[in-house]
Structure 1
Amino acid sequence: MVKQSVTWLNGQLLPTEQATVPVNDHGLLYGDGVFEGIRFYKRRAFRLQRHFQRLQLSARAIALAIPLSTEELTAVIERLIEAFADDDGYIRLMVTRGAGPLGLNPNSCSQPNVIAIADQLTMIAIDERQAGARLIVSSVRRLPADGLDPRIKSLNYLNHILAKIEANHAGADEAILLNGQGRVAEGTADNIFIVRDGRLLTPPCSEGALEGITRELVLKLAQDNGIETREQPLGVYDLYAADECFLTGTGAELIPVASIDCRSLPNCPGPVFQRLQQAFGRTIDQECGVVL
């Protein structure tokens, strides 16, 4: 068993530091490719087929043919999890356009590269997670859907990286990006929810948010637990006036928010967040628990 981060690269299983791609891969040169982040618990990938579905849709949207079938990708993920040292972890699955001559034209790339990395990923330190994340509203705006549809999970995250740099400079844990109309879109690597008067509110994906798989699950868990949910446009005022706020994502899982732009929230973690966190944990146990 490999006792470190491990990578599957075009059929080879390697320690991550030994895995290499050509410097003229268009994924590196231009961010031309798609990816998924996948959690696994108790050596079982969580919501794997839903991740594959989103990967395939992203690839189709950028006219990129994934060279492996769903069954072959499933075998790759299972092999990677088996080789990883820990029972729980995170996988970054990527499909790049592949190597080709300099120049934007993707027709020059003959073979996509498929890469899957198993490692640990912590979005926020454990002690800070318990105390709640500190957020800022970034000056960096989410790219508009008529420029790049937010449903495409591409390798080009520079827009979000710039917002994360701004959060780092402000001493915050995370940044919230607004769309071109000044309404809330998403975090740099997560979706955002607020609670007001017992209602769970989140921006619709048409506002510029990724169609998050954890977001989707949280909305269902809320409905199953009798929590009123609503997808509606949110402004910065709505963030400041929230009773609770939290972030969701495959990497983030569920993270409560303590403050936004130095404005403390009344509840962190709040009662709605705690109910949903417990329901989320039960879902993981049900879907990834060991069947005897």
Structure 2
Amino acid sequence: MVIYINGQFLTKEKAVLSPFDHGFLYGMGLFETFRVYEGHPFLLDDHLERLNQGLEVLNINYRFEREETNNILQELLKVNHLNNAYLRLNVSAGIGDIGLQVEPYINPNILFFPKPLPQAGDLTEKKAVLLELRRNSPEGSERLKSHHFMNNILAKKEIGHAVDTEGIFLNEKGCIAEGIVSNIFWVKGNCLYTPSVQTGILNGITRQFVCELAKKHNLSVEEGLYSLEHSLEADEMFVTNSIQEIVPISTLEGHEFPGKRGQIVQLLHREYRHYCKSLWSRHGLRSE
């Protein structure tokens, strides 16, 4: 596999970073993962917008633009002979002295990692289990997609290797929050519910897109602080992320849901397929 690192395309064996990188020493780094469909990086603008906002918070002086980023991605796809792929864009703060730095980071390390994926397929449902581990609070005012991933790793360790299961966090106040690698939604009547970012969740790019998609189809969308019991009264439940897309949930805490037979999840999945090879941002839905 060839990766991109600081302007070079190198085999993964030749890619190196300094041990004095503050992404390694202090976790000062961010990443985005997104999916490429037939060469198109779906919702790339939204991923870059979130990344740029996070870089400001971490005081890393760098900004990503679509054209330059997409040029790198297209070359990376070409050299790896990929058309459908998983892409991870990683920004690490860069080299610094031992000790906490308050000055801006001006030479971050920038990496792109590709991984082959098959063509997107049909809905695949999962079971959900409630985690004993609680979702930790964000380090700042809002959760960033950062190198601080221990809470997620411990949660994954709790549920094990089962690929057909997603663990669901409650936050420290007992509100339903999100999955280990996903955001959670449930449907009751004509309303789509999802936990607010005030619960401490990551504001997922697919989460934001699904909210816009639901509104486009005249579903009301409510974001709030909800108990587990509220979600268990749902007609349908599903989770989302940028790689797995929309994943119907069949069971949670002994409650059964329609899973991939759910009407709303099928509607949203069809629409997702319609846009995934062309849309750069969720805002493109509003211009139609």
The TM-score normalised by the length of structure 1 is 0.85
* Distance (Å, rounded) in 1 between the aligned partners of 2:63 and 2:275: 32
1:85 is paired with a residue whose SS is: coil
CA distance in 2, matches of 1:75, 1:285: 17
Question: Could you tell me which residue of structure 2 aligns to residue 267 of structure 1?
Answer: 258
State the one-letter code of the partner of 1:158.
M
Counterpart in 1 of 2:129? 136
- Partner residue, 2:20: 24
Give the stretch that moved more between structures: 62-71 or 158-167: 62-71
For the Cα contact (< 8 Å) 1:199–1:227, is it kept in 2? yes
**Distance in 2 (alpha carbons) for counterparts of 1:24 and 1:15:** 22
- Take 1:76 and 1:278, find their aligned partners in 2: how far apart are those partners? 30
Rounded Cα–Cα distance in structure 1 between residues aligned with 2:3 and 2:249: 33
Report deviation, 1:24.
Answer: 2.8
Q: Decide which of 206, 209, 220 is 2:198's aligned counterpart.
A: 206
Q: What amino acid is aligned across from residue 268 of structure 1 in structure 2?
A: G
Q: 2:239 aligns with which of 244, 247, 262?
A: 247
Q: Distance in 1 between matches of 2:81 and 2:161?
A: 35
Q: Structure 1 residues 255 and 6, CA, compared in 2 at 3 Å: closer, same or farther?
A: farther
1:281 corresponds to 2:273 = yes
1:84 aligns with 2:95: no
- The one-letter amino acid paired with 1:85 is H
Structure 2 equivalent of residue 168 of structure 1: 160
Contact 1:97 1:111 in 2 (8 A): yes
Match of 1:178 in 2: 170
271-280 or 227-236, which moves further after superposition? 227-236
User: What amino acid does structure 1 have at the position aligned with 2:101?
Assistant: N
- Say whether the 8 Å CA contact 2:52–2:64 is kept in structure 1: no
Q: Which runs of 5+ in 1 are unaligned?
A: none
User: What corresponds to 1:235 in structure 2?
Assistant: 227
User: In the aligned structure 2, how far is the partner of 1:60 from the partner of 1:235?
Assistant: 33
Paired letter, 1:105: Q
Q: 1:223 to 1:107 in 2, by over 3 A?
A: closer
1:194–1:200 CA contact under 8 A, matched in 2: yes
Q: Is the 8 A contact 2:52 2:63 kept in 1?
A: no
Provide, for residues 213-251 of structure 1, a one-character-per-residue CA deviation record: whole Å limited to 9, x for no partner. 111111111111222322222211123322211111112
**Percent identity (aligned):** 31
Does residue 11 of structure 2 align to residue 15 of structure 1? yes
Correspondence for 1:50 among 40, 46, 53: 46
Q: Secondary structure of 1:28's match?
A: helix
On the 8 A contact 2:251/2:257 being kept in 1, the answer is: no
Kindly provide the CA deviation profile for residues 145-199 of structure 1, in whole angstroms up to 9, marking residues without a partner as x.
4x43444221111111111111217897221122221101111221110112342
* Contact 1:93–1:116 (Cα < 8 Å) also in 2: yes
Q: Find the aligned partners of 2:63 and 2:189 in 1 and give their Cα distance.
A: 49
**Unmatched tracts of structure 2, length 5 or more:** 281-288
User: Are 1:239 and 1:260, in contact at CA under 8 Å, matched by a contact in 2?
Assistant: no
